[in-house]
């Protein structure tokens, strides 16, 4: 392999795949490997990754707590767009990748590394997301994707490689590993593989980690109040908290009520369809709450324009174009609408369902005098509607007079 690669920064989880990658990079490229482990709220201790990396001879080890940055600078800006991919997916994995790509590039620059590396397979979206992000931030960066180069194609071959190269692995634990490929952060946890590769097979109930089934959820609903400022949530039931703390609490509350489970078949950017299951309790609560506060604070046309931009925004995030001029343009337009998105939303959580039951704001455009079915004391002249309707029907009446039938 190329002798120009002297130092590589690897996105390292401490798991089987990335532990193999450390040794494979050392042997294949005869290079120094720097490991980077991001704590983005995956719910597992990240410090054990340090000992595993040290056991593999890694001298330079980065372990960063990125939870607040992840929610504040990535999840919340995305949520301002109310982004949902293909009508269902809340983009939990997608939105974490640009942050990890950014940090990989930063560490490469800090350490003078020649390349970065990741453990994404050659079939998935993550390889695209990591690499598009890296190239956008550092055009000349070299990216090494072992899954596109080596001949290790299964867990069995990876474990055999570990045995051959004396890589410390808890074989008992590895053998008992979940049959699912899972990815978690503060926004969600995803499941792929195993029986989920059959889109007709129902997911096993013991697969889910963050939520009870709706059938097992409490028989009494829970009411929750979320406060927003500038489009972002900042308090739950009147208690202000940091972005990461707020999302973590919503995950806990939502999971207890069976909220946030999703089973979908999605269209990957690389061309194939993929079946996945997701748990996103906090996000599933936040999105209807956000729409509720926007419903009373945003102008109709501004709101409708935002809604028309959302599918494109979601597609950009899903496909890996966070660091792109078009995403930045859309973000600027979306953020321009948000200064008035302030107030409180009251929700009812019950057996997997989230219902908006109240919304209020000092910036509300809802005018009770005009909207009332009672006497409005002249606030609205109903006779104005006649001319409005006749003008808007003019083109339809002309077409009908010319014999055009749209039935």
Same domain? 43 vs 137: yes
Same domain? 170 vs 189: no
C-alpha 69: how far from chain center: 14
305: in domain:
no
Which CATH number covers residue 155?
Answer: 3.40.50.620
Which domain-ending residue is among 177, 194, 226?
A: 177
Same domain? 192 vs 94: no
Answer whether residue 197 shows pLDDT above 70: yes
Catalytic residue positions, numbered: 17, 97, 126, 181
Number of domains making up the chain: 2
The CA-based dihedral angle spanning residues 123, 128, 129, 132, taken in that order and rounded to the nearest 10 degrees: 170
Q: Residues with Cβ < 8 Å from 359, sequence gap 6 or more?
A: 292, 293, 295, 296, 343, 344, 345, 346
Same domain? 41 vs 170: yes
User: Structural domain of residue 139, as residue ranges?
Assistant: 7-73+90-177
Same domain? 230 vs 353: yes
Same domain? 194 vs 112: no
Which domain-ending residue is among 114, 149, 177?
A: 177
166: in domain:
yes
* Percent of the chain residues past pLDDT 90, beyond the cut: 87
User: Among all chains, which residue has been given the structure tokens 């695209």?
Assistant: 128
Same domain? 31 vs 146: yes
135: in domain:
yes
Q: Exposed, middle or buried, 4 (CB in 10 Å: 0-12/13-18/19+)? A: exposed
* Percent of the chain residues past pLDDT 70, beyond the cut: 97
- What mean pLDDT do residues 97-103 have? 98
66: in domain:
yes
Same domain? 64 vs 167: yes
Which domain-ending residue is among 136, 151, 177?
A: 177
Same domain? 109 vs 147: yes
Name the band, by pLDDT with cuts 50, 70 and 90, for residue 44: confident
- What mean pLDDT do residues 8-24 have? 94
Name the band, by pLDDT with cuts 50, 70 and 90, for residue 177: low
Same domain? 207 vs 127: no
Same domain? 196 vs 61: no
Tokens describing residue 15? 């798991």
314: in domain:
no
Which CATH number covers residue 241?
Answer: 3.90.1260.10
Answer whether residue 172 shows pLDDT above 60: no
User: What is residue 170's predicted lDDT score, i.e. its pLDDT?
Assistant: 65
Same domain? 169 vs 188: no
284: in domain:
yes
User: What is residue 173's predicted lDDT score, i.e. its pLDDT?
Assistant: 60
206: in domain:
yes
CA distance 22 to 228: 44
CA distance 221 to 200: 32
CA distance 405 to 385: 26
320: in domain:
no
Name the band, by pLDDT with cuts 50, 70 and 90, for residue 328: very high
User: What is residue 171's predicted lDDT score, i.e. its pLDDT?
Assistant: 57
């Amino acid at each position: 392999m190329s002798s120009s690669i002297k130092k590589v920064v690897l996105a390292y989880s401490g798991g089987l795949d990335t532990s193999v990658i450390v040794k494979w990079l050392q042997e294949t490229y005869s290079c120094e490997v720097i490991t980077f482990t991001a704590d983005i709220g995956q719910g597992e201790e990240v410090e054990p990754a340090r000992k595993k990396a040290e056991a593999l001879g890694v001298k330079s080890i980065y372990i960063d707590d990125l939870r607040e940055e992840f929610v504040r600078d990535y999840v919340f800006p995305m949520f301002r767009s109310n982004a949902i991919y293909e009508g269902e997916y809340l983009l939990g994995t997608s939105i974490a990748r640009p942050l990890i790509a950014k940090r990989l590039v930063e560490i490469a620059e800090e350490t003078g590394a020649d390349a970065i590396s990741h453990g994404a397979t050659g079939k998935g979206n993550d390889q695209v997301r990591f690499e598009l992000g890296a190239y956008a931030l550092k055009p000349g960066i070299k990216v090494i994707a072992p899954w596109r180069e080596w001949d290790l194609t299964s867990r069995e071959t990876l474990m055999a490689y570990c045995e051959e190269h004396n890589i410390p692995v808890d074989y008992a634990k590895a053998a008992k590993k979940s049959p699912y490929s899972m990815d978690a952060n503060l926004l969600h946890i995803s499941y792929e593989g195993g029986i989920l590769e059959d889109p007709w097979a129902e997911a096993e109930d013991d697969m889910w980690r963050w939520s009870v089934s709706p059938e097992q959820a409490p028989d009494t609903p829970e009411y929750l109040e979320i406060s927003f400022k500038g489009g972002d949530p900042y308090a739950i039931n009147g208690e202000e908290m940091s972005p990461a703390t707020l999302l973590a609490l919503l995950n806990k509350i939502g999971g207890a009520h069976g909220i946030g489970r999703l089973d979908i078949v999605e269209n990957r950017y690389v061309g194939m369809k993929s079946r996945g299951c997701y748990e996103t309790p906090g996000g599933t609560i936040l999105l209807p709450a956000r729409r509720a506060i926007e419903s009373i604070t945003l102008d109709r046309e501004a709101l409708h324009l935002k809604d028309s931009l959302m599918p494109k925004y979601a597609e950009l995030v899903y496909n890996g174009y966070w660091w792109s001029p078009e995403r930045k343009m859309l973000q600027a337009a979306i953020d321009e609408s948000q200064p008035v998105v302030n107030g409180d939303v009251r929700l009812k959580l019950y057996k997997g369902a989230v219902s908006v039951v109240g919304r209020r704001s000092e910036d509300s455009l809802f005018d009770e005098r005009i909207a009332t079915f009672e006497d409005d004391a002249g606030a609205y002249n109903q006779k104005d509607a006649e001319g409005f309707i006749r003008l808007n029907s003019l083109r339809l009446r002309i077409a009908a007079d010319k014999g055009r039938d749209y039935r």
